[in-house]
Structure 1
Amino acid sequence: MGNCMTFFGDMLQHLRAWRGRRTAVFGVLFALVMLLIIYSSNSGSEVFPSTALRGRSHRPPSLKKWGLKSGYLPIYGNKSLDSHCHQCVIVTSSSHLLGSKLGSEIDRSECTIRMNDAPTSGYEADVGNKTTVRVVAHSSIYRVLKRPQEFVNKTPETILIFWGPPSKMQKSLLKLLRRVSMSFPNASAYVVSPVRMKQFDDLFRGETGKDREKSRSWLSTGWFTMVIAVELCDKVHVYGMVPPNYCSRRPQPRKMAYHYYEPKGPDECTTYIHNERSRKGNHHRFITEKRVFASWASLYNITFSHPAWA
């Protein structure tokens, strides 16, 4: 009987020890899994890795064949957008232009394209004053209309192109745009049609292999502006846009404001990297868009300076 009790006692001790080891093993495994999850959510891995463009299923149709008239609807009247320029410049809103003294060079261009509510007053020496086309996102419309003498009526014959998802371009907003257009006859105002908005989405999917909505991405005004410039112009020169690998260079670039007119605003590279890597919420994929622009450079005669692209 004593031997049996000893045997069962030994078995119980072994069982307890085994359970302890099993608990420890499970604890270690659980910790490793949690660390992996945390690392994956916070690591530098991108939603759109640099190899994504190589996986495109097909090259989208040439932007030159899209056709202007069907894509941009007049807000007031029935005048179609049929402008054409041999040589255009896109003036970005980047603080890389501050101190550049490019204003006179930019103003000598045949056509000058600007974005959203980027002002020229007070910055003429670096960004010029001439505005042929201004591309405006739905989120910037009110900021533009609040200062019509700066953005709407400053340069004779300015073309304003407003873009936004159909759900954002409500009748009340279009009514406001129409009223402003009637007040400033020198400016021609257009809105991107719903059909063309879908084309922009299809273009993004064709170039990146990613569905914009499923990948929780917003197209930037830079995306719309680049496509519109390619449609309107034979040659496009972009001032102030950094190349896609700029923010990953070593040593890291010095901090620079995202907008030249907001010196205390967010840092440019911090903004780009956060938007590119974030998986929660909808974000612009600035770096991915720039990779696409790089692939368009030779196709559509696009050049970049300040900084120059390799």
Structure 2
Amino acid sequence: MTAGKHSVGWMILELLTSVIIFLVISTYLSSDDYTVSSSSPPYEHIRVACTPGYVASKAAKIISNYSHNHTTFLQLSDYFWTVNKSLYSLPYGTKGSELEIMQALALTQHYHLPQEIERLECRRCVVVGNGNRLKNSSLGEIIDRYNIVIRLNNAPVHNYEKDVGTKTTMRLFYPESAFFDLRLDANPETLMVLVPYKRLDLQWLKTILNNEKRIKKGFWKKPPMIWDVNPENLRILNPYYMEVAALRLLGLNKKNNKLIKPTTGLMAISFAIHFCDLVHIAGFGYPAPTNKTEFVHYYDKTLMKQLLVSEHKVPLEAIAIKKLLKHNVIHNLTYF
């Protein structure tokens, strides 16, 4: 009899525990806080079959005027013989920066995708964020299985291979974040993709490639003055994807938000949902603003308070990413 009562007691306790856990998770997932966790195991998403046009079909339902009719990278022919009309100036468009674009593109001389990417029937992509939740994730082998691995800014690969992998198809950067090791944090075929936030970014690239007198003023942080990159691996990303990130994913009003710039991470997601047929993300999400001890990145000791004083709108970006996750435009390999 005692054993029976004991068993019934344990059953009731387990039931109550399950209910409490369910309520906690439900509340957590419905929260507007941008540290929300996803309980989906990463290894399920990697097995999802890639269907051509899958992401486009999902994205078109929630993004106004979603379109594939835009070049991936800026091309010299768009500026040399014709007048490329853009509604916005950098970082949302090319208006007013045509000369700097032409000068930079004339030196890179490569504007197209590599053949191994062009001939893919279905592009399976992972955008690897720089978040601290990648630390001890052991996702390295999973990340390396994707056709296209997109990395951000100066996030290192060397010494972090177990968690972040070794493969890099594209690395999106701007001058102030170009401090990654070109030998250790990239593959020989990696595309170095400049995300131009301002005209000075294009001028910096021109001085590097042409070995001219370096520009030192006008940057929020001094960029590399010596940068031994292979021009064949350089590309300049079409600012259209920044426009989509800012004006459609974040819903910003350009006239009233002149200084607001999406992070490279959100812009990379914006690019991926136009470029790929399957988009997974890893390492996105930040600690709560009140968290004074958890680091933002997996590779340094930046704290949340340092990020909150930047021009980026982190809470808005979290809402945008949650929306994309909710509508299955993208999937998460970590938690968000």
| TM-score grouping bracket, smaller chain normalisation | 0.5 to 0.7
Moved more, 102-111 or 123-132: 102-111
Given residue 112 of structure 2, which amino acid in structure 1 is its aligned partner? S
Higher relative CO (CA 8 A, sep ≥ 6), structure 1 or 2? 2
CA distance in 2, matches of 1:119, 1:213: 36
The residue that corresponds to 2:303 in the other structure is 267
Residues 1:257 and 2:295 aligned together: yes
The Cα of 1:304 is off from its aligned counterpart by: 1.2
The residue that corresponds to 2:273 in the other structure is 230
Alignment check: 8 A CA contact 1:134 1:160 kept? yes
CA distance in 1, matches of 2:255, 2:314: 16
SS at match of 1:256: coil
Given residue 90 of structure 1, which amino acid in structure 2 is its aligned partner? V
Q: Could you list the runs of 5+ residues in structure 1 that have no partner in the other structure?
A: 1-48, 51-57, 276-281
Alignment check: 8 A CA contact 2:324 2:330 kept? yes
Residues 1:100 and 2:134 aligned together: no
TM-score norm. by structure 2 comes to 0.58
Alignment check: 8 A CA contact 1:181 1:188 kept? no
Given residue 204 of structure 1, which amino acid in structure 2 is its aligned partner? A
Q: How many residues of Structure 1 are paired with residues of Structure 2 in the alignment?
A: 229
CA distance in 2, matches of 1:161, 1:226: 14
Residues 1:175 and 2:201 aligned together: no
Structure 1 residues 239 and 149: alpha-carbon distance in aligned structure 2, compared to 1, 3 A threshold: same
Structure 1 residues 78 and 119: alpha-carbon distance in aligned structure 2, compared to 1, 3 A threshold: closer
SS at match of 1:112: strand
Alignment check: 8 A CA contact 1:230 1:300 kept? no
Given residue 241 of structure 1, which amino acid in structure 2 is its aligned partner? F
Residues 1:289 and 2:325 aligned together: no
Alignment check: 8 A CA contact 2:73 2:112 kept? yes
SS at match of 1:229: helix
The residue that corresponds to 2:152 in the other structure is 115
CA distance in 2, matches of 1:171, 1:233: 30
Q: Deviations over 1:66-125 (max 9, x none)?
A: 332557985512442474552111111111111111111111222111001111110111
Alignment check: 8 A CA contact 2:138 2:163 kept? yes
Residues 1:149 and 2:195 aligned together: no
Q: Could you list the runs of 5+ residues in structure 2 that have no partner in the other structure?
A: 1-31, 34-61, 77-100, 212-225
Given residue 165 of structure 1, which amino acid in structure 2 is its aligned partner? Y
Structure 1 residues 221 and 63: alpha-carbon distance in aligned structure 2, compared to 1, 3 A threshold: farther
Alignment check: 8 A CA contact 2:140 2:161 kept? yes
CA distance in 1, matches of 2:71, 2:204: 28
Return the structure number with greater strand share: 1
CA distance in 1, matches of 2:210, 2:250: 36
Alignment check: 8 A CA contact 2:174 2:201 kept? no
The residue that corresponds to 2:234 in the other structure is 189
Larger Rg: 1
Structure 1 residues 239 and 175: alpha-carbon distance in aligned structure 2, compared to 1, 3 A threshold: same
Return the structure number with greater helix share: 1
Q: Deviations over 1:175-220 (max 9, x none)?
A: 31467999636x6211135xx25x6236523444433563342221
CA distance in 2, matches of 1:240, 1:109: 16
The residue that corresponds to 1:304 in the other structure is 332
Alignment check: 8 A CA contact 1:76 1:182 kept? no
CA distance in 2, matches of 1:69, 1:213: 26
Q: Percent identity?
A: 21
The residue that corresponds to 1:29 in the other structure is none
CA distance in 2, matches of 1:71, 1:149: 27
Alignment check: 8 A CA contact 2:126 2:146 kept? yes
Given residue 66 of structure 1, which amino acid in structure 2 is its aligned partner? H
Structure 1 residues 254 and 87: alpha-carbon distance in aligned structure 2, compared to 1, 3 A threshold: farther
The Cα of 1:138 is off from its aligned counterpart by: 3.0
The Cα of 1:167 is off from its aligned counterpart by: 2.5
Show the 5 A alignment for 1:43-62.
59-62=63-66
CA distance in 2, matches of 1:157, 1:298: 34
CA distance in 1, matches of 2:210, 2:130: 27
The residue that corresponds to 1:204 in the other structure is 246
TM-score norm. by structure 1 comes to 0.62
Structure 1 residues 100 and 174: alpha-carbon distance in aligned structure 2, compared to 1, 3 A threshold: same
CA distance in 1, matches of 2:262, 2:130: 16
Structure 1 residues 306 and 203: alpha-carbon distance in aligned structure 2, compared to 1, 3 A threshold: closer
Residues 1:159 and 2:178 aligned together: no
Show the 5 A alignment for 1:62-141.
62-68=66-72, 70=74, 76-81=108-113, 83=117, 86-141=123-178
Alignment check: 8 A CA contact 1:60 1:207 kept? no
The Cα of 1:290 is off from its aligned counterpart by: 2.3
